[in-house]
Structure 1
């Protein structure tokens, strides 16, 4: 296969054909290859497809915003800061872009600015600051923003493209009450040339989310009130709101659909449950009824994804099953997908179309379990691919480990999906890490390249990632089976998966460690407590250690747990403070710390507002009284996870040494 390079200033190295080479290098890849920031992250086609906006940067450099003329391959830097990186960006129309500021080299607790908002033409003219950065009226030189009052710092992009046919966009103004808690979200129409607003869209309550229709007009909003989410529809003729349905904010009980998108003809597409698995239906706004048959139904999975439409019709569906994929309805797109897949036979290839194509270019994102994401341009006329950028060009697919989705039965008969990654080699009787996803009421993973998993596999460890009960995406039964099962049946699912891996011959029963972050950190501690014969050690970071204290908080330490979550979420999904007091004690690691005798590695950030530092430090002091094999790592100004590459590299270096010491790598 032949490919063309898109500008030496943009193109980054990356193998286009993935596969295992006969002679992989003996030395594992350096740890920085896995945990440095990606070399290349994204690019966005203009509405016509004639221009490409790209983020330009590199290690030790500020990210800039560039625009490539795809007719000439000429590139121009149009946005940059001396004190910040380019954050989110999108096209307003074919002439103009908006973007925010970001700080990739600052930890969570050391962030100085809100993102701000800026606009500029693709030729570098017409620059205007639209919104303040953290209350500061202006920081970067060259703005016309000082000539008028700027929008407040809590103004953000809506992250919906809109019509892209004028200088106007919709932005959201988030009204905060307390630390990190949003009271409501206003929708504001903004002229990106003048900086003037055309008014705030009226809302039927405390809106938390907005949806535009295919013409870019506000058509739907979600409001919240005392733990209930209501779906409201705005009539295009009268501008009046009416409620379509409502449901419980945290459990989802009640209304059986969630809005997905509006079609070009005004059809409302929704995700709804008529049985255990959700699917895509149309919703009749006149009769308030779902269609009898689903438009899209995934075998074995709840629907998660998006509809792909042009100005006239539905073209296809982007969806998540074991991996992200696309089902095309349009014959022309089916043919294009087949051609791209022929050129890139070893990867999943996701095609992204411009809004109103006037050129032959489309974007292709290619990835696999052994190949990090690469972004390419495909020319439908020449049928050739052009490399735009690779997220991690230093990663060699032939050194990576293959991933598969497996299933096992929990002790009560519930089917548990899990991701199994085996290092290169015989694949039997291996040291294994049981890696527990956070959430916990979220989907853990999907088929693709994962830095932590591939790093562990490169060091000789098998990795098992169970989608334990409570995980989403595998049906309502699977989700609801995890309610109020923290430290109980959710924990059993992890142990049953570990025993399954031993029985299958993948794992050495004497060399298994449990690990995870946030809820995964909590589950690590409970695993060491409940199943000491299974797990020889534990690695946890940012994990909840005391469920009672996590709910009540610390008078001297800031937490961003919303009162709505404490009142309507935790009693339903975790445990009720009063009714389940004994359960909370029995399932809080703080109360059982003396039972942990295995080696343990703990890591916490001083600026974590989800699981504040005292959660970890108090438990560490307690467990150290009876267990001398506990290691503690504290990262200054880090939040709920490690943002800075140097901290990620340091942490996983410690994990590597800890695992090697306690369960050893594969022979």
Structure 2
């Protein structure tokens, strides 16, 4: 069956196969294009019964298509395709019908408008219906189906990232009220008939809703409202469909009443993520009668905040998917636990995540397999035959034998705080290497885990050790670690990064004269501050899309639009980054723009002309300042790109520049 599925998918998208390289010939080193191209296979979803598999597939120079495989007969039907767009997200409405959106992988972000449209079609390609406008257009611009004259849902209608009831032609969608870039005023939840395209109901809200949670039966049961800096969580009682307030808290600093809704169990139990009585966030049950979070956690991870989801079918909880250093699963269901053990024996060198259908009537289970050296692959496992069949690979040109292993290390910051970090060391010698300290953006997010990712692996393939610190302020490692990063831009957060480089030197891993610091967004800011604060430690820097002045991030620029919301500027930034009045002197002292003359090391700067998160003046102002006193600064602007490189050609160009820059300053081309 393995070859059968692959060949059917290949025929569906017009993909060609190439001769396999001779076994005795050493494979060439992976190219920039191998690392930074779009994935060839990205998504697959089993239907509720497990009888059908929906897959999004594409190949070089071709649009991504949506196809459905009937697993009993191994037949394939392409059900979603556009001549002027790719398939975006998709989900099953019921066992016979799917919904999907449009995307465009050929457009840079400056040319895109977040109006993906919404479409529905049967798995056999019949009953196509456009539900919502795409890019402000009232009709299907091209693709399967006929023109429609009825009024469509507005362009700001989006697919809900949750399964609905999946027992009819109806689905729930989000309808956002947007007053400007980043300014979402409220989000309505609507029930839509996907055959007629008509709205059957708009769910009443108790305030300005910003998020919704469906129960295990797929019905609206919880909403989170927001006003200024306050958030409230409301419960919709199934007995009378009336809303009842459960809790309220500060949107940015949290508080005693704060929790994150996770899911409803089959018996109606509400599960939430809470820091109750602990530094670490865990899964608790919530008593809807007393409005209290349970004293004891249901799921608690050792050393990590809970990140993940509950795996359930219609009748019971099957297991828990979680993230520690890597993704994993604990199964409560004996049959799923035994299946996991069998699949792990078949795929012994990878993390294998099993996703069963929600209403199983067929023997199929979806398997996603990956590791630090192996990009994601998708398989189907047959419960009856015990066979594992390949469906697709995200980056087939990447060979695990050529990749470098990533490990989680810990070191002490100068004030004693424990700092986790991800260390990737090239194959071969692990001593006295050139190193890139790669700083994650955010900054108040988690940086990495033990999954393959292109940036560190590309750098390691070129001979560089890579250290990725989870500096204070990073999420996922406890409240203390997170709170320690508040108002520490350029200060203790920066010290954590420098202390990581010094730890690597002390381990003998790194040549102290060949260390470069690099990162995007906040990571770009940290790159510049690293060059300023520790000129003897970092020999060069690569900043792409980096903040160069905190006040400029808050106040913006008259000629450019920012997508930061007004409430984040007013409340969130004041609490987490710095108050413009109370912390005025600190913000000046930690401004790369105001201290540009202190940077003497070689520097590569790259910015997007359409970036609304860190608008272009962050780059141009800084470049104009730093080049006055530093002759060794390279500048590149990608006019149509936003906050991240959307186009493969941009990624190829940028990382080739990075490769050349590092080679010159800390790599083989550097003067010894």
Same fold, judged at TM 0.5 (above): yes
TM-score by length of 1: 0.97
- 1:385-436 per-position Cα deviation (integer Å, ceiling 9, x unaligned): 1110000011010000000000000000000000000000110010000000
RMSD: 1.7
2:25 and 2:509 mapped to 1: Cα distance? 22
Alignment correspondent of 1:418: 421
Q: Are the structure 2 counterparts of residues 141 and 135 from structure 1 closer, same or farther at C-alpha, using a change threshold of 3 Å?
A: same
SS of the residue corresponding to residue 6 of structure 1 reads helix
Are residues 1:184 and 2:186 paired? Answer: yes
Structure 2 spans left out of the alignment, 5+ residues: 18-22
Q: Which residue of 1 aligns with 2:456?
A: 453
Residues of 2 paired with 1:118 and 1:289: CA distance? 41
Are residues 400 and 5 of structure 1, via their aligned partners in 2, closer, same or farther at CA, if it must alter by over 3 Å? farther
- The residue that corresponds to 2:629 in the other structure is 626
Residue 636 of structure 1, CA deviation: 1.6
Counterpart check, 1:328 vs 2:331: yes
Take 1:141 and 1:396, find their aligned partners in 2: how far apart are those partners? 36
> Shift of residue 256 of structure 1?
3.4
The one-character-per-residue Cα deviations of 1:166-197 (angstroms, maximum 9, x if unpaired) are 00000000110122310000000000001111
Equivalent in the alignment of 1:8: 7
Structure 2 length normalisation: TM-score? 0.96
Tell me if the contact between 1:248 and 1:254 (Cα under 8 Å) persists in the aligned partners.
no
Task: Please report how far the alpha carbon of residue 227 of structure 1 lies from its aligned counterpart in structure 2 after TM superposition.
Answer: 1.1
Work out whether residues 68 and 74 of structure 1, in 8 Å CA contact, stay in contact via their aligned partners in 2: yes
User: 2: CA distance between counterparts of 1:296 and 1:290?
Assistant: 13
CA distance in 2, matches of 1:29, 1:140: 37
Contact 2:609–2:616 (Cα < 8 Å) also in 1 = yes
Alpha carbons of 1:112 and 1:202: their partners in 2 closer, same or farther (altered >3 Å)? closer
- Of residues 250-259 and 387-396 in structure 1, the stretch that sits farther from structure 2 once superposed is 250-259
Find 1:488's aligned residue among 464, 469, 491.
Answer: 491
Of 167, 171, 181, which aligns to 1:169? 171
The Cα of 1:111 is off from its aligned counterpart by 1.6
Whether the 8 Å contact between 1:461 and 1:665 is mirrored in structure 2 is: no
Partner of 1:68: 69
* Equivalent-residue separation in structure 2 for 1:13 and 1:458 (angstroms): 28
When residues 598 and 25 of structure 1 are mapped into structure 2, their CA distance, relative to the original with a 3 A threshold, is: farther
- CA, structure 1 residues 194+540, in 2 after alignment: closer, same or farther (shift >3 Å)? same
Q: Note the 1:560-571 alignment, pairs <5 A.
A: 560-571=563-574
Contact 1:230 / 1:246 at 8 angstroms: preserved in 2?
Answer: yes
Instruction: Select the structure with the greater relative contact order (CA < 8 A; seq sep ≥ 6).
Output: 1
- Residue in structure 1 matched with residue 352 of structure 2 by the alignment: 349
- Specify the alignment match of 1:17 in structure 2: none
Inter-CA distance 159–113: structure 2 relative to 1 (3 Å threshold): closer
Q: Is the 8 A contact 1:5 1:387 kept in 2?
A: no
Contact 2:319 2:330 in 1 (8 A): yes
C-alpha change, 1:618 and 1:31, in structure 2 (3 Å) is: same
Instruction: Determine the structure 2 residue equivalent to 1:537.
Output: 540
Partners of 2:396 and 2:3 lie apart in 1 by 16
Per mean C-alpha deviation after superposition, the further-off stretch among 139-148 and 385-394 is: 139-148
* TM-aligned CA deviation for residue 9 of structure 1: 3.4
* Maintained 8 Å contact 2:49/2:357: yes
Give aligned pairs, total.
Answer: 659
Please say which of residues 417-426 and 547-556 is displaced more in the overlay: 547-556
Correspondence 1:129 to 2:126: no
**Structure 2 match to 1:557:** 560
Seen in structure 2, the aligned counterparts of structure 1 residues 513 and 252 have a Cα distance that, compared at 3 Å, is: same
**Equivalent in the alignment of 1:18:** none
**Equivalent residue, structure 2, for 1:403:** 406
Q: Is the 8 A contact 2:192 2:200 kept in 1?
A: yes
| 1:77 aligned counterpart, secondary structure | strand
Shift of 1:163: 1.3
Q: Which moved more, 1:361-370 or 1:146-155?
A: 146-155
Equivalent pair of 1:431/1:665 in contact (CA under 8 Å)? no
Shift, 1:247, TM fit: 2.1
Q: Does 1:313 align with 2:277?
A: no
Runs of at least 5 residues in structure 1 that lack an aligned partner in the other structure: 15-21
Question: What aligned pairs does 1:630-641 form with structure 2 within 5 A after superposition?
Answer: 630-641=633-644
Counting only pairs closer than 5 Å after superposition, residues 171-250 of structure 1 correspond to structure 2 as: 171-250=173-252
Tell me if the contact between 1:117 and 1:130 (Cα under 8 Å) persists in the aligned partners: yes
CA contact (8 A) 2:82 2:144 kept: no
1:274-293 paired onto structure 2 within 5 Å: 274=276, 275-293=278-296
Larger mean CA deviation between 625-634 and 286-295 belongs to: 286-295
Cα separation, 1, equivalents of 2:97 and 2:304: 39
Closer, same or farther in 2 for the Cα pair 1:351/1:665, shift >3 Å?
A: farther
> Following TM superposition, by how much is the alpha carbon of 1:550 offset from its aligned partner in structure 2, in angstroms?
1.4
Q: 2-side partners of 1:238 and 1:393: how far apart?
A: 53
Residues 513 and 229 (structure 1 numbering): CA distance in 2 closer, same or farther, change over 3 Å? same
* Residue of structure 1 equivalent to 2:103: 102
C-alpha distance in structure 2 between counterparts of 1:491 and 1:142, whole Å: 53
Deviations 1:445-470 (A, max 9, x none): 01110100000000000000000000
